[in-house]
Structure 1
Amino acid sequence: MPEILQYVLIGLAVAALLGVVLEEITHINKAKVTLFFGTFAWMLLFIFSPEGAERDLVLESLNENIAEIAGLWIFLVAAMTFVAYLNKKGLIENLIYLVLPKQISERQLLFLTATFCFVFSSLADNITATLVSITLIMSLKLSAEKTIKYAALVVFAVNSGGVALITGDVTTLMIFLAGKVQILQLLLLALPAFLAVMLLAAMLSLGMNGQVVVESHRTDVRRVDIAIALIFLGTILCTIAGNFFFQIPPVLTFLTGLSIMFLVARFFSDDIETDPILEYVRQVEFETLLFFLGILLLVGMLKEINVLDGLVQIYDQVPAVVANYLMGILSAAIDNVPLTAALLKSGLEMGIAEWMVLTYAVGVGGSLLVIGSAAGIVAMSKVPGLTFGSYLKYSLYLFIAFNLGFAGVYLTGLVVAGSLG
């Protein structure tokens, strides 16, 4: 491989990263940017690799990369289809208004919002959880300043809730699929992560003493919708139990649950031409999936040319827990998906406590800046006045909450490591 090609490929990866960071300025969707650079980089690898053993190695690496991406994709499509159906049928919205009273204090609303975002984002993807939560906040017609405060809480709570279940955050799923943590070990992250969210809600509630009137917008729920909601929850529980007792891959369990969803819809005669159940697959956030595809292709390319070795050197200079903390801070500026993929591809070796704390750090660290996570970007696009600067006003509160969660997760990880030892 020509030496100049390595610099060209690194340049393509940097260009893709800049495309993600500057999406709001260039107005070019990050999925399109990363997919182009990811595929183009591999094309160059094939073109400039000598025919024979070296090109065969490139093909082997690409096939391995594609297989990993396919597993991630299929799992996310299955999970997102469930959520797309329940959201379209109004079941999620009904559940929110069932819990909310007609009148509630602003302080109580903060804690209820935090709890809902945390729980819901464990089950759904971060983008859906943020959209639903922000839509609720906007419907309450609060002042601009208070709406921004609630939005900051939503971003942190959504990202925190996602770290404890593989259905909630892509980076958590990636670390799990790499065999670094077990499902039950991930569930232990929920308590310290939730405490951090409650601390942030408490800090944001200072000085808030107004009342909020909630106007209900409930819709009719059919038996088939309730049945599919129960299938979704059952699929999550079976995923946890099946993996723990029988090592069944989560993607297989979720595909089974999805097939049951389709059959149940047909049993209720709901799978009709005017509303075919398979149409809900089309409502999955395929832009997000294409972004992951492009990013993971780029990271696989960087591994192929041995660039990721430099990332691991940080772990040689400082203790792993410190390096993980720095990765969490770094994820506020760099998307956590490529960052996590790079660490996993680099062959990094750590103990269970360190992998647990890395899961939390890269999952929640993006909340420190509004541009650091998909939840932040979605919130910024939906809430008038929510900008980089207005979000930064709450950076101290966010930083304190992140540190509490990080410390709690690390102590939990040490207890788990001790019990295993």
Structure 2
Amino acid sequence: MEALLIIIFIVGYLAIALEHNLKIDKLIPALGMMAILWAIIAVAHLNVYEVNTLTKSLELHHLEGVLLHHLGKTAEILVFLLGAMTIVEIIDYFDGFSTIKSYVKTKNKVKLLWLFTTLAFILSAIIDNLTATIVLITILQKIVKEKEVRLWYAGLIVIAANAGGAWSPIGDVTTTMLWIANKVTASSLIIHVLIPSIFCYAVPTFIASKLSVFKGDIEITSEKDEKPKTKFSATMFYLGLAGILFVPIFKTFTHLPPYMGMMLSLAIVSIFAEYFSGSKFSVGDASSGGATNIGIHSPIHHSLSKIEMPSILFFLGILMAVAALESLGMLFEFAGVLENSVPFLGTELQSTHLSDLVVLLLGAGSAVIDNVPLVAASIGMFSIPLDEPAWHFIAYSAGTGGSMLIIGSAAGVVAMGMEKINFMWYLKKIGWLALLGFLSGFVVFVLLRDFLLNAS
């Protein structure tokens, strides 16, 4: 029976990885795989377990309790993402991202390259790498006229956005998962991963700046006197970013789950959004007969209608599917085999013997298949204490490894759609730069990790 479950998972996994070839949205196999796996477990009355983190052993539990436990952990991530997505959409409702255009004051291609990649690196750490990529490529399309040059900029924005998301607990879904699962703390993640991530984006940007495509100046096509939609654009932009940045601070002081801080930030941002919009929405009006027209001018209703529900459902499906295998003890047992069979290549990570090679393969794998299930499986496999360097390495590797292929990350996929980037063009022109950046960050991470371990 376990063999059947593994086959179903592999088939579903392949369908997710080949979504562009099959032309089937990845949320469909993810949801189907989740439901089928848990249905088989229930019908076949298979034993389900939870890992005791203290004894590092499996403990038998009832199916309903285990299912509720995993659903609760998954819901924490989904509610957090819903809050973050809504704040981003509120910023966009007020055209807050037009504020970024004010930073573009140069025509020099190299300076513009460093400006866009640095903005991608910083913004992705706050509003996540996917949104940062969308915002910056949208601005890029209004500034850079030449298509070929714009593709180069877009490719390097993807590298920088993925690197920026790797060192922040709110910058990428995978780092958010590790943070919410209490595998890393925000401060320790930043200490271990920030510098490697800087090298990951700076090395490709530096090398690219020496290429002939970035010689000379560009012709600015955007209107210099272009004004934001409303006078509150800048205010909502900085308020929204501050609200998201407040979440780790809230967690540090209250020790409550991150989604609670995100909901508080959403509430505060929403108050200002409603006030600035002049909306007169009320609960009493909503319950009346004219409720069909209520909330049309409400930025909250508008923003909630714009969030990416397909992504939320995909995360639900894949996380609960991985949880099904975890509840059967498969991931726990596989981790033991993996750690014993793969030779350790780096400095011993205190209490864990997780190989650097394993984590590097995880990064390479994230370029081919989605990094979310890879990190979800890692969380279920390895019983490593909080803030062990292995978790930081997983955050870096899974977050940045996807840049090597255009389909290896959400940022790459959205850039591919917005600029119609060819798979082979990206592989030939940008892939080697992403690989050099990834390996540069890896070397820096190992050196920094060893230094910090010896210093302690």
Shared fold, TM over 0.5 = yes
Change (3 A) 1:143 1:235: closer
Q: After the TM superposition, which residues 161-310 of structure 1 pair with which residues of structure 2 at under 5 Å, given as runs?
A: 161-188=164-191, 189-205=193-209, 206-207=211-212, 208-216=214-222, 218-220=226-228, 222=230, 224-268=232-276, 270-272=278-280, 273-279=295-301, 280-308=303-331, 309-310=333-334
In 2, are the aligned partners of 1:184 and 1:240 still within 8 Å (CA)? Answer: no
Q: CA deviation at 1:65?
A: 0.9
287-296 or 389-398: which moved more? 389-398
Task: Tell me, in whole angstroms, the C-alpha distance in 2 between the residues paired with 1:161 and 1:277.
Answer: 28
In 1, are the aligned partners of 2:127 and 2:244 still within 8 Å (CA)? Answer: no
Q: CA deviation at 1:364?
A: 0.5
Task: Tell me, in whole angstroms, the C-alpha distance in 1 between the residues paired with 2:231 and 2:9.
Answer: 49
In 2, are the aligned partners of 1:97 and 1:216 still within 8 Å (CA)? Answer: no
**Structure 2 unpaired stretches of 5+:** 50-58, 281-294, 345-354
Residue 120 (structure 2) aligned to one of 111, 117, 125: 117
82-91 or 356-365: which moved more? 82-91
Report what 1:107 is aligned to: 110
Report what 1:318 is aligned to: 343
Amino acid at match of 1:310: F
326-335 or 342-351: which moved more? 342-351
Task: Tell me, in whole angstroms, the C-alpha distance in 2 between the residues paired with 1:90 and 1:265.
Answer: 12
1:404 paired with 2:427, answer: no
323-332 or 62-71: which moved more? 323-332
Q: CA deviation at 1:238?
A: 2.8
Q: CA deviation at 1:291?
A: 0.8
Report what 1:32 is aligned to: 28
Task: Tell me, in whole angstroms, the C-alpha distance in 2 between the residues paired with 1:52 and 1:126.
Answer: 36
Task: Tell me, in whole angstroms, the C-alpha distance in 2 between the residues paired with 1:52 and 1:337.
Answer: 23
Q: CA deviation at 1:297?
A: 1.1
Task: Tell me, in whole angstroms, the C-alpha distance in 1 between the residues paired with 2:394 and 2:306.
Answer: 32
**Structure 1 unpaired stretches of 5+:** none
Task: Tell me, in whole angstroms, the C-alpha distance in 2 between the residues paired with 1:233 and 1:342.
Answer: 31
Change (3 A) 1:226 1:397: closer
Report what 1:395 is aligned to: 431
Change (3 A) 1:225 1:411: same
28-37 or 336-345: which moved more? 28-37
State the identity %: 28
In 2, are the aligned partners of 1:312 and 1:343 still within 8 Å (CA)? Answer: no
Instruction: Give the secondary structure class of the aligned counterpart of 1:212.
Output: coil
Q: CA deviation at 1:311?
A: 4.4
Task: Tell me, in whole angstroms, the C-alpha distance in 2 between the residues paired with 1:30 and 1:121.
Answer: 23
TM-score (norm 2): 0.84
Q: CA deviation at 1:222?
A: 4.0
Change (3 A) 1:293 1:55: same
Q: CA deviation at 1:286?
A: 1.2
Task: Tell me, in whole angstroms, the C-alpha distance in 2 between the residues paired with 1:375 and 1:142.
Answer: 22
Change (3 A) 1:415 1:223: farther
Q: CA deviation at 1:417?
A: 4.1
Q: CA deviation at 1:78?
A: 0.7
Task: Tell me, in whole angstroms, the C-alpha distance in 2 between the residues paired with 1:244 and 1:156.
Answer: 30
Q: What are the superposed Cα offsets for residues 114-165 of structure 1, whole Å, 9 maximum, x if unpaired?
A: 0111111111133222222222333345444323322221111111111122
357-366 or 319-328: which moved more? 319-328
Task: Tell me, in whole angstroms, the C-alpha distance in 2 between the residues paired with 1:267 and 1:374.
Answer: 34
Q: What are the superposed Cα offsets for residues 363-395 of structure 1, whole Å, 9 maximum, x if unpaired?
A: 1011111121111111122223x2221111132
Change (3 A) 1:69 1:252: same
Q: What are the superposed Cα offsets for residues 73-112 of structure 1, whole Å, 9 maximum, x if unpaired?
A: 11111111111111232211x22210112x5122111111
TM-score (norm 1): 0.90
Task: Tell me, in whole angstroms, the C-alpha distance in 2 between the residues paired with 1:47 and 1:341.
Answer: 25
Change (3 A) 1:270 1:39: farther
Task: Tell me, in whole angstroms, the C-alpha distance in 2 between the residues paired with 1:264 and 1:226.
Answer: 13
Task: Tell me, in whole angstroms, the C-alpha distance in 2 between the residues paired with 1:175 and 1:302.
Answer: 18
Task: Tell me, in whole angstroms, the C-alpha distance in 1 between the residues paired with 2:402 and 2:205.
Answer: 18
Change (3 A) 1:246 1:291: same
Q: For the aligned residues, what is the CA RMSD?
A: 2.5
Report what 2:404 is aligned to: 368
Report what 1:73 is aligned to: 78
Task: Tell me, in whole angstroms, the C-alpha distance in 1 between the residues paired with 2:148 and 2:71.
Answer: 45
Q: CA deviation at 1:352?
A: 2.1
Q: CA deviation at 1:181?
A: 1.5
1:17 paired with 2:13, answer: yes
In 1, are the aligned partners of 2:91 and 2:240 still within 8 Å (CA)? Answer: no
Change (3 A) 1:51 1:73: closer
In 2, are the aligned partners of 1:169 and 1:363 still within 8 Å (CA)? Answer: yes
Task: Tell me, in whole angstroms, the C-alpha distance in 1 between the residues paired with 2:234 and 2:278.
Answer: 13
1:354 paired with 2:390, answer: yes
Count of residue correspondences = 413
Change (3 A) 1:404 1:282: same
